[in-house]
Copies of this chain bind each other. A is one copy, B any other.
Amino acid sequence: MKTSRDAYGQQLLAQYQSQQPTVEIIERDDNYIDTGSDPGLYFSEYRQWSLLEKRAVKLAKGKILDVGCGAGRHALYLQTKGYDVVGIDNSPGAIRVCKLRGLKRAIVRPINDVNKFKPASFDTIIMMGNNFGLFGSFENARAILKKFARITAPDARIIAVTFDPYKTDNPLHSSYLLLNRRRGRLGGQIRMRVRYGATVGEWFDYLFVSPDEMRDILSNTDWRIEKLLNAEEANYVSLIQKKSS
């Protein structure tokens, strides 16, 4: 089996080179398989975004770090608007695509390595496209939130998009949530991998949380939920504010 960390990046590169949307295929560790994001989403322009996504991006201010920037749709938009923005992604293919598309500051860096940035480098960290999920787990989220506190200025904010996994009527998802609880994980801690062509990505954890679970994760950290957008729906945005020290 040809395993690669970067099935995701290969998919983005192929889309960029062919200018054709490709179908994303995601496999979960209970063998559930499905298509992921809508074809073309990663390359979508501002005018094609949902109202929620537009509202979320509007909350960014100052110097911005885009965590899990993918093909760079948000970072490129913010760069065009004159913001000082850095995109990081653990996918070399994704970062290559960002650079090809004109993003000035794009770095291959996993979220766990954000402490490589200097203290107080950013005013806003954006985690768009469900990228709150990149925290991966409860414990890892708390460890990274500490790093986020260090690399951000006072009064900084995190704009995080996620999906409440309990708002599902699909029995395959409900039983997976239960399986996760039984093995001591958060319900929405999805173990998944990307499949692209003959390339099988590595397994990784991607975390979906309810607003209550997000509150738990943030409790006794440097961060608190300031505002939720669209909280009554499955897909919602959290504006997370740094507490004044």
Contacts and interface: CB of A to CB of B under 8 A. Distances in A.
Interface in A35-75: 35
A88 B164 CA distance: 44
A33 interface: yes
A31 B31 CA distance: 14
A2 B25 contact: no
A35 B32 contact: no
Contacts of A196: 33
Contact of A1 (B25, B31, B35): B31
A82 interface: no
A231 interface: no
Interface string A9-45: 0000000000000010100101111110000000000
Nearest to A200: B31
Contacts of A200: 31
B197 A32 contact: yes
A96 interface: no
A202 B200 CA distance: 20
Contacts of A172: 197-198
Interface residues of A, number: 18
Interface string A198-229: 11100000000000000000000000000000
Nearest to A176: B198
Given A25-B33, A25-B34, 6 more contacts: A1-B31, A23-B23, A28-B198, A31-B195, A31-B199, A33-B195
Interface of A: 1-2, 23, 25, 28, 30-35, 172, 195-200
Question: Would you list the 6 A-B pairs with minimal beta carbon distance, nearest first?
Answer: A32-B198, A33-B195, A31-B198, A23-B35, A172-B197, A172-B198
23 contacts: A2-B31, A23-B23, A23-B34, A23-B35, A25-B25, A25-B33, A25-B34, A25-B35, A28-B198, A30-B198, A31-B195, A31-B198, A31-B199, A31-B200, A32-B197, A32-B198, A33-B195, A33-B197, A33-B198, A34-B197, A35-B35, A172-B197, A172-B198
